[in-house]
Structures are given as C-alpha cells and as structure tokens.
Copies of this chain bind each other. A is one copy, B any other.
Amino acid sequence: MTRLFNDPAVFADEALEGFAAAHRDRVRPVTGGVVRAGATPAGQVAVVIGGGSGHYPAFSGLVGRGLAHGAAVGNVFASPSAGRIRSVARAAHGGAGVLLMYGNYAGDVLHFGQAAERLAADGIESRTFAVTDDISSAAPGESAKRRGIAGDLPVFKAAAAAAEQGLALDEVLAVAERANARTRSFGIAFSGCTLPGADHPLFTVPEARMAVGLGIHGEPGIGEEALPTADEAARLLVTTLLGELPEGIGRPEGQRAAVILNGLGSVKYEELFVVYRKVAELLGEAGVDIVEPEVGELVTSFDMAGVSLTLTWLDDDLERLWRAPADTPAYRKGSFAAPGAPGVGNVPAAEYTEHTEGIVLPEASEDSRRAAATVLTVLHTVAGTIDTHAEELGRIDAVAGDGDHGIGMQRGSTAARRAAVDAHAQGAGAGTVLARAADAWADEAGGTSGALWGTILRALGTALGDQDAPTAPRVADGVAQASAGVRRLGGAEVGDKTMVDVLVPFADTLTAATATGSPLTAAWDRAATAAETAAAATAGLLPRRGRARPHAEKSLGTPDAGAHSLALIARAVHGVLLDHH
C-alpha cells in the first residue's frame, strides 16, 4: 500500500527530486535522472544504468564511485524514454564512451536502443547491455529472453569497477557479459505491490500461499505453493539455483560466489536475516565459498512482499571486481585508496538541464494551421478517452503484464496534448504539432507504449507535413507508415497479442477504403470497426510479448491492453472526424 504521495502522476519525479536533495553530496540531478556529483574522470568509460522507478535503490541509489556514473529513471515501472537516457548519458560521458545497462524488458530494450542511436548521432560511442539473471522467466536454452532482477547489481558493479580501472568500452562490455553469464537469480513472492494512487495491488497471493518465480514489476509467479517456513524458503532458493549452474561450472564444491539475498520491498530485514542464516548454512554444506554477501533491499518491486536469491559464480577477475570499493547513496563497501571523496569534482553542482526552448518552428501554410486545430481536437479527445479508461486499461494489463499501461498512456497522452497546445499556439502546422506531441508522449510516458505511440504520431506528422491540407489518402498513408514503424520497432507481428494485432488491420482497412475514394470519415469508421474486432480477438490468444510471463496462461481470455487502447482511440477519433466533417 502506498500512502505518502501527492499527485500520483508526478510521484516518480517528486521521489527523484527528494532523493537528489537528500544526497546532494553524492549525486547531481539532470534531465532524466542523476549523475555522480563529481565529473566522470576524463578517459573513463561511463556506465549509465536505468529503468523504471519503484525499484529503489535501483537505479538512482546505485550512482557513485565504484558503481554507476549515472542513472536514467522513468515513471513507476516504466522505462525511461530515449530522450531521458540520452540526457543522462551525455551528462555522464567522460570522453571514453558509454555503456548503457538495464534489465531485459521490452520497454527498456527499446528505449536504451534508441538512446544509443541518438548518442551515436551526437558523436558519443555507446554499447547497450541487458541483464538476464532471472531463471524463472525463460528456459536455460532461451537465457537471452530472461528478465533482469537483483542480478542487475553484481553485473552493473562488475562493469563499473572495470570502467573505474581504466578498461576500454568494449572490454567493459565483455566484463558485463561474463558477469551476466555467471549470474543467476530466483525469487518467491507473498503479495503484489500497489502503485501510488491505486486501490488494489497488481496481483494478490492467497493467504498462506506463495508465488514462485516472481517478477520485479508485480508480475505473478510461474507457480504457487504453500507458504514455507523461512528455512524451507531458503532451501527452495538454494536448491533451485544450484540446479542450474552456469556453463563451465561442473559442481558447486570449491566454487566462490557473490551472494545476494534481496528483499522486494515489504519483507523486514529481520526476516531476511532469518532466511540468510539457512542460505549460508546450505551453501556451506554444498561447498560454496561465500564472498562478501549482501542481505537487504537492493532491487525492489515497490511494496511487494518477496525475496530473491542471486548467485554470481566468481572467477579471479570477477571476485576482484565484486570486492572493489563502492560509494553510492544506497550501496557502500570498502574504501577508496585515493582521497577523492564523493562529491569532490570540478563540476558545479548546479542542475544540468537540456533546453529545448527557442528552437525555430518550421514555416506552416494556412491550410496546415487549420488542420493543426483539428489535430489538437483529436489529441484532446485521445487524452480524454484514455483518462476515462485508464483504470480499466491498468486492470487488463495487470493480468499478464505489469499493470502500468493505463498510467503510461495517461501520462503520454496528457503530455502530447500539452505539447500540441503549445506548438499550435506558436502557429505550428499539423505536421509539427504531431511531431512535438510525439516527442512529448515518448518522453513522458516512457515504457513500451510510449515509444510506440511516439512512433505513430511521428509517422502521421511526417505524412501530413506543414504545407498541404490533409487528404484522406495522405492520412491513410501516415497510418500505414505508423503501422510499419511500430512493427519494426517493437519486433512484433500479427498474432503476438500486441497492439500490432489491431494496428495492421486498422491501417489496411483505412488504406483500402480511401483507395476506393471513400471519404475519410467513412473510411475511418470501417477501419475503427476492424480495430475493435481485432482487439476483441486478442482475448483468445496466448501472449508472446517479451515482457509477458512465459507461462501466463491466465491472460488467455483477456484482451491485450495495448490493443484495447488503440481500438478505443480509433473509435474516439472517428467521433472528432464526424464533428469536423
């Protein structure tokens, strides 16, 4: 239960602000997250980590000497946008390139990948790396599909310590790969988490039961068992991890391992210690040499009650990196030989922000400005429709996903409307209004849906431009481009139970109808009907999205949230077209 918040929509921003205020000796706020208070030493690779908010101390609490140079954070459980990641990476860059690190979730993969492209355009070399330690999220043969949970910490730390020691970008990346290949986690949960402003948790676990194989976004587990004693829980965690040793490690005897017993948010430290007591005993019996264990909250899932165990099987190099000192707001170990205390750098602690004002608007024709007014009405209607359905969308999403679809869509559509109002007031044409709305949606919403809706609006803006009056074929062409862009970016096809299942028939129907000379309003009506039919059909499909649970049979019978919201928007926009006809 979250009790202390103001406007839930700005919870993550306010938390970041308070965090930076409490730790101004160690971190410096920048657009999109925080960087170390001191500058990245020239010639040192910068490790920039990130992900959604709600995982504290991941990600902002892990910024400091010996660990990350910066952290980009999004909304609660939503990936930061590419723009936010780029901003943090630019602020952290020390001239030797940037390694972008994150847990393996569709939204993060999308946005960090886009950020890397934008950094390349800025002339900053970067690499991306997704942590995949959660053994419950995919079979051993599909380890690249696994999610990142508390194994984030040892993998981030290994790479960051390597960067601190002066390794080059690709060498640091190789360290991250080796650390990740030797890191395995497994977790159990006793309750879901409740996002700020929500009345109900994302999922519930029946009393005296336990979900096995948790996700850190409140994803339900892959199985359910009776609530164990602390000792039984320890045995389950240890036995499961010893049952899947990384390649090259034949047996646990004589191996060294970094051990992390991680609390998900609502488990008391005393409980963790009771479990750790048995974990240490069992690992000892198996002949494993425990190296500098960590017991505590390191990667949380808001207020979820659960615990995970992580083992990183060490070689000499990895052990040295694990033992290396670190000094961040939430994670400190050892001490640095050099006096360079945290916060001592030659960069003023003034806030680093990117300025976007003062950019000249492209010229627009009278026709396009008139069309921009209609676009504005459409965006008002989209935001209003999402507001009305936000809770329902969250509920649908919570069945197989992390329940943040409604919140993300709300933030994105609201930001898009705001940006559109500004651009329109400055005299922008339809294309520029849509382009500004696209950037605002992607940046504010974060998450997968933010990136995809940014793509959709951008494609429409490009098709409409700022000169000509929009015609039905031009609109249809924009939608077709949006459809292609979303498929390219999201890597999903029809049948995967995503918004693509809806966007493709919508675009195809619109193109076919306008090609036969049908006016836009009538063509849109047919396309919206096709969208509604397709959205309903996703209820009969098993999900295949990267983030969805591999065994989430429960979601059969529920439509996909992204598909559903697209169909709702298509229908609402038809209403605007009717009025403006």
Contact = CB atoms under 8 A, between A and B. Distances in A.
A227 B271 contact: no
Interface in A164-206: 190-191
Contacts of A21: 276-277, 280, 293
Interface in A363-403: none
A249 interface: no
Interface residues of A, number: 62
A259 to B, nearest CB: 9
A352 interface: no
A270 interface: yes
Contacts of A1: 190-191, 266, 305
B303 A268 contact: yes
Nearest to A305: B3
Contacts of A191: 1
Given A277-B14, A277-B21, A270 B3 contact: no
A269 B15 CA distance: 8
A269 B57 contact: yes
A349 interface: no
- Report whether over half of chain A's contact residues are helix, strand or loop; otherwise say mixed: mixed
Given A4-B230, A4-B233, A307-B4, A54 B22 contact: no
A267 interface: yes
A323 to B, nearest CB: 11
A3 B227 contact: yes
B56 A4 contact: no
Given A22-B273, A22-B295, A280-B18, A268 B2 contact: yes
A375 B335 CA distance: 58
Nearest to A325: B335
A274 interface: yes
A341 interface: yes
A191 B194 CA distance: 15
Interface in A286-300: 292-295, 297, 300
Interface in A118-160: none
A309 to B, nearest CB: 12
A522 to B, nearest CB: 49
A332 interface: yes
Nearest to A266: B266
Interface in A45-77: 53-54, 56-57, 61, 76
Contact of A275 (B4, B12, B272): B4
Interface of A: 1-6, 11-12, 14-19, 21-22, 25, 53-54, 56-57, 61, 76, 190-191, 210, 227, 229-231, 233, 261, 265-278, 280, 292-295, 297, 300, 302-303, 305, 307, 332, 334-336, 341
Q: Which 3 A-B pairs have the closest CB atoms?
A: A18-B273, A18-B277, A4-B271
Given A18-B273, A56-B273, A334-B341, 20 more contacts: A2-B268, A3-B210, A3-B267, A4-B271, A4-B275, A6-B230, A6-B231, A11-B270, A14-B230, A14-B274, A15-B271, A15-B274, A18-B274, A18-B278, A21-B276, A21-B293, A56-B269, A76-B270, A265-B268, A335-B335
